[in-house]
Amino acid sequence: MRWFIFILLVGIADYYAFQALRTITKGNWWYVLYWLFTLGVIGNFVYQFYGFNRSNGFSQSNSLAVGFLIAMVVPKLVLIAIMFTEDVFRVPQGLYSYFMQDTGGENGVKHFPSRRKFISQIGLGLAAIPFASILYGMYKGKYNFKVLKYVLHFEDLPSAFDGYQLTQISDIHSGSFDNVDKVKYAIDLINEQNSDVILFTGDMVNNKATELQPYVPIFKKLNAKDGLYSVLGNHDYGDYVRWNSEEEKIQNLENLKDLQKEIGFDLLLNENRFIEKNGERLAIIGVENWGKGGFKKAGDLKRAIQGVDSDDFKVLLSHDPSHWDAEVVNDDYHYHLTLSGHTHGMQFGIEIPGVFKWSPVKWRYKHWAGIYEQLGQYINVNRGFGYLAFPGRVGIWPEITVIELKRGTKEA
180-205 pLDDT per residue, tens:
999 999 999 999 999 999 999 999 99
Given a cut of 60, is residue 153 above it in pLDDT? Answer: yes
**Is the distance from CB of 205 to CB of 257 less than 8 angstroms?**
no
Report the C-alpha gap between 341 and 344 in whole angstroms.
7
CATH code for the part of the protein at 147-407: 3.60.21.10
Q: Is the pLDDT of residue 115 over 80?
A: no
pLDDT surpassing 90 at residue 178:
yes
Supply the pLDDT for residue 106.
53
Confidence of residue 373 (pLDDT cuts 50, 70, 90): very high
pLDDT of residue 3: 63
Rg (CA), the chain: 26
Confirm if 183 and 218 have CB atoms less than 8 A apart: yes
Residues of the chain with CATH 3.60.21.10: 147-407
Kindly report whether the global pTM for this prediction surpasses the value 0.85: yes
Average pLDDT over residues 118-147: 92
DSSP letter string over 337-395? Answer: EEEE--SGGGGB-EEETTTEEE-GGGGT-SS-SEEEEETTEEEEE---SS--SSS--BS
Q: Under a CB-based contact definition with an 8 Å cutoff, are residues 65 and 48 in contact?
A: yes
> What was the pLDDT predicted at 256?
98
pLDDT digit string, tens, across residues 237-295: 999 999 999 999 999 999 999 999 999 999 999 999 999 999 999 999 999 999 998 89
Using DSSP's 3-state secondary structure scheme, residue 148 falls into: strand
> How long is the chain?
412
pLDDT of residue 2: 65
